[in-house]
Amino acid sequence: MEFTRRDTLAIGMGAVAITVLPFRVNAAAEEAISAFTGGADIAETGVTLIAPEIAENGNTVPIGVEAEGAVAIMVLAMGNPTPGVATFTFGELAGAHSASTRIRLAGTQDLVAIAQMADGSFAKASSNVKVTIGGCGG
């Protein structure tokens, strides 16, 4: 098999891509976001994400999300081994479109909440949480 100049370049580019990929830690999170939004634009207002500034124990971090008129809200922890946290889908009898729960965070990282509105638009909010003790065991 002969390598032309073009083949050599292509192989080189492939090798570069493979070495760069592991450093894109947020690739899985970006994938989850695009799967949820279908690539639509995301507005920056309309969602409230309540999270502590400093969480002493990453095993139980209390968070809350609220978005007026939302159909569904997805919460992502960008620094966790798997970024997905939960997706809240509100039914016809939901009161205020809010929910709170307790989550695990592996370390200091950004939390992101993305809401799908009734009109099909999307909005997001993010918050940085400093974690003293990570919650992934190990």
Partner 1 sequence: MAEGVKPRVKAPSSAAAGEAVVLKTLISHQMESGQRKNADGTPIPRSIINRFTCEFNGKSVIDVKMEPAISTNPYFEFEAVIPEAGDLKFTWYDDDGDVYEDVKSVAIA
Q: Give the contacts of 89 (CB within 8 A, at least 6 positions apart).
A: 71, 72
Question: Measured from the CB of residue 40, what is the shortest distance to partner 1 in angstroms?
Answer: 20
For 95, the token pair is 């009161």
Interacting residues with partner 1 (CB under 8 A)? 59-61, 64, 77, 80-82, 84-96, 98-105, 135-138
| CB of 4 or CB of 95, closer to partner 1 | 95
3-state secondary structure at position 31: helix
Rounded CA-CA distance 30/13 in Å is 23
Which of residues 46 and 83 has its CB atom nearest to partner 1 in the complex? 83
Which of residues 38 and 91 has its CB atom nearest to partner 1 in the complex?
A: 91
Residue 27 CB, shortest distance to partner 1, in Å, is: 17
Identify the CA nearest to 47 among candidates 134, 126, 131.
Answer: 126
- Please state the closest distance from residue 11 (CB atom) to partner 1, in A: 35
